[in-house]
Chain A
Amino acid sequence: GQSLEQPSEVTAVEGAIVQINCTYQTSGFYGLSWYQQHDGGAPTFLSYNALDGLEETGRFSSFLSRSDSYGYLLLQELQMKDSASYFCAVRLRAGSYQLTFGKGTKLSVIP
């Protein structure tokens, strides 16, 4: 089976930096995506890593190490509106475009 592990909950202070980790054990790997979901809303695409290294998009960065089957999402200068659930998702192989999701990390930003 496919397994993506991420912490269920994380709490951080407004203005701080938080890192959400994702480790995966899958039968294949063709890229790691991150999605944000506010309560009752649509999962919103944040970033995608196909190769090792860091991708930066504004306050959000995502990192991938394929040799360690590991990635993380880094959120800087946290704002209250960043309180949401964050999901990592793996694309398993080149010919398949379905995403396999982790269970999500609920981030709470406190004043």
Chain B
Amino acid sequence: EAGVTQFPSHSVIEKGQTVTLRCDPISGHDNLYWYRRVMGKEIKFLLHFVKESKQDESGMPNNRFLAERTGGTYSTLKVQPAELEDSGVYFCASSQTVQEPQHFGDGTRLSIL
């Protein structure tokens, strides 16, 4: 069984540009979560999808971040425009049910110059 896949693994962009991160959850997992870890800080929750619906988006930092999960399969997280403080590692996780453990991807390392 393939794990959670994230693309790209690394992204380097300039401040003001747009970046889109993609997450492919484990097949059959209805629940998809986004987290991020900025340098020196803990991993922090961004949002939770159940299929294509946003169940909890309380962790989204501001309206420069837009997450979508059209069709309830893969998800994208767009940052527009990117700011320096957005640098960090963005993790995606999925679970079959909310009671089961969340399985994480390797993350996308985002650097804003």
B55 x A97 contact (CB < 8 A): yes
Chain A interface residue count, CB cutoff 8 Å, equals 21
Bound together, the chains give a CA A97 to CA B98 distance in angstroms of 6
B56 x A43 contact (CB < 8 A): no
Among residues of A, the one whose C-beta sits closest to the C-beta of B59 is A98
Bound together, the chains give a CA A103 to CA B42 distance in angstroms of 4
Among residues of B, the one whose C-beta sits closest to the C-beta of A35 is B104
Q: Among B4, B41, B48, which residue has its beta carbon within 8 angstroms of that of A98?
A: B48
B-facing mask of A2-44, CB < 8 A → 1, else 0? Answer: 0010000000000000000000000000000101000011111
B contacts, CB < 8 Å to A: 3-4, 31, 33, 35, 41-45, 48, 55-56, 58-59, 91, 98, 101-107
With A42-B3, A87-B43 given, name 11 new contacts (CB 8 A): A4-B42, A43-B43, A43-B91, A97-B55, A98-B45, A98-B56, A99-B45, A100-B45, A101-B43, A101-B44, A103-B41
